[in-house]
Structure 1
Amino acid sequence: MIGAKAITDYSLVTYGHGELIYFIVKPSNISVLSEASVGARIYALMTVLKGVAEIEMLCLNSRENFEDNKQFLRTRMEQEENPMVRKLLEKDQVYLDRIQVQMATAREFLILIRLKGEKESEVFPYLSRIEKSLKEQGFSVKRADREDIKRILAVYYEQNVTTEHFEDFDGKRWIIPGD
């Protein structure tokens, strides 16, 4: 359905869209940086992008989004006639606001490289060069492994940010060897 063929130890192999390699970039909290520091970060990213034309970028939530719950609470507060229940709903609203503020920087930035027909002997030196370039520009980066890729897919397609370990295929935990 999503065009995924297989997840390898370092990539997502797709039908017709190439092999996808993900680099996870740890975000910087730019709200505490000076204007000059933010400019330097932007320039560093621009330097990487100019050096590797094949880069695609993604930004994902890596934590829950509470907007639907907050909207539900606002609607319920407007409809609620009992002042005690309305007060409890307001407390729930404040609690969700506090959690959301604590998770405000819960973003995950991904750099994606799409391989199409590259020789296997050339792939790892190429990926190492990209990773080195990112690190030289001051980014905290890691190449995504199998578990990272499964988590990325779960967050992107399912908004599942609470599961710690993902199955290789749906229902795997229910298979009993030898049965």
Structure 2
Amino acid sequence: MGRKQRKKEKQKESTRELIGIDEITDYSLKTPYGELVYFKIHPTNISVLSDESITARIYALMTVLKGIVEIEMLCLNSKENFEDNKQYLKRRIEMEQNPAIRNLLKQDSTNLDRMQVQMATAREFLIIIRLKDEKESNIFPYLSRIEKNLKDQGFATRRADNQDIKRLLGVYYEQNVTTEKYEDYDGERWIVLGDM
């Protein structure tokens, strides 16, 4: 295959192909390197826990890690970054001659600071299980055992579904934390089925 032909074929690839995803199922992400199943862990605010409680949480996590060989972990910073907006407002405040407008810009800047502080703890923690050559009939009992193990160790968790996985990819690849429903294809929400 010539260079031009390869370039043409590369342009036809979908976004999923470009980032190495074969399929997003109802419960997993299929890749050439295995099927990934995500468990969302709801974080615990350790700043209010005693030293003994923190030690117990660490021990519980060690127990989970020792019990599951295929485990991987991921932490996503699932908050918006307002730095560009804050820098813009700072420049506008310096340039603005009208005191009323300058006051409004300062209020906007203060509001962005407040929003950023409120979102500072918006992190998501995930346990990832990489399935390789698992029989279809064994997958769900295996995943249920893992979920039960996590819950037995005191972690508030649930298995990520199709929309959760799409949102995780949106946050990971483009820092998109505002979209409520992700489409399988661009413009999918505008298609009216049966209207032909």
Range class of TM-score, shorter chain? 0.7 to 0.9
CA offset digits 1:103-137 (Å, max 9, x no partner):
22211111111112111122122211211111011
Structure of higher RCO (CA pairs closer than 8 Å, 6+ residues apart):
1
Please tell me the root mean square deviation across aligned C-alpha atoms, in Å: 2.0
Determine if contact 1:26/1:140 at 8 Å carries over to the other structure.
yes
Q: Report the counterpart of residue 68 of structure 2 in structure 1.
A: 52
Aligned residue type for 1:12? L
* Structure 2 Cα separation of the partners of residues 41 and 78 of structure 1: 49
SS at match of 2:22: strand
Determine if contact 2:42/2:124 at 8 Å carries over to the other structure.
yes
Aligned partner of 2:39 among 16, 20, 23: 23
Determine if contact 1:29/1:105 at 8 Å carries over to the other structure.
no
Query: How do 1:111-130 residues align onto structure 2 when only pairs under 5 Å count?
Result: 111-130=127-146
Question: Runs ≥4 in structure 1, deviation > 6 angstroms?
Answer: none
Q: Report the counterpart of residue 152 of structure 1 in structure 2.
A: 168
Q: Mind listing any 5+ residue stretches in structure 1 that lack a counterpart?
A: none
The alignment covers a number of residue pairs equal to: 178
* Structure 2 Cα separation of the partners of residues 133 and 110 of structure 1: 15
CA offset digits 1:21-45 (Å, max 9, x no partner):
0000111111221222222212211
Q: Cα distance, 1:91 vs. partner?
A: 2.6
Q: Report the counterpart of residue 106 of structure 1 in structure 2.
A: 122
* Structure 1 Cα separation of the partners of residues 35 and 187 of structure 2: 25
Determine if contact 2:73/2:126 at 8 Å carries over to the other structure.
yes
- Mark the CA change 1:117 to 1:29 in structure 2 (over 3 Å): closer, same or farther: same
* Structure 2 Cα separation of the partners of residues 53 and 73 of structure 1: 50
* Structure 2 Cα separation of the partners of residues 174 and 92 of structure 1: 34
Q: Report the counterpart of residue 23 of structure 2 in structure 1.
A: 6
- Mark the CA change 1:23 to 1:89 in structure 2 (over 3 Å): closer, same or farther: same
Aligned partner of 1:132 among 148, 165, 179: 148
Q: Report the counterpart of residue 82 of structure 2 in structure 1.
A: 66
Aligned residue type for 1:163? T
Q: Mind listing any 5+ residue stretches in structure 2 that lack a counterpart?
A: 1-17
Moved more, 141-150 or 159-168: 159-168
Aligned residue type for 1:7? I
Q: Report the counterpart of residue 8 of structure 2 in structure 1.
A: none
Q: Cα distance, 1:63 vs. partner?
A: 3.0
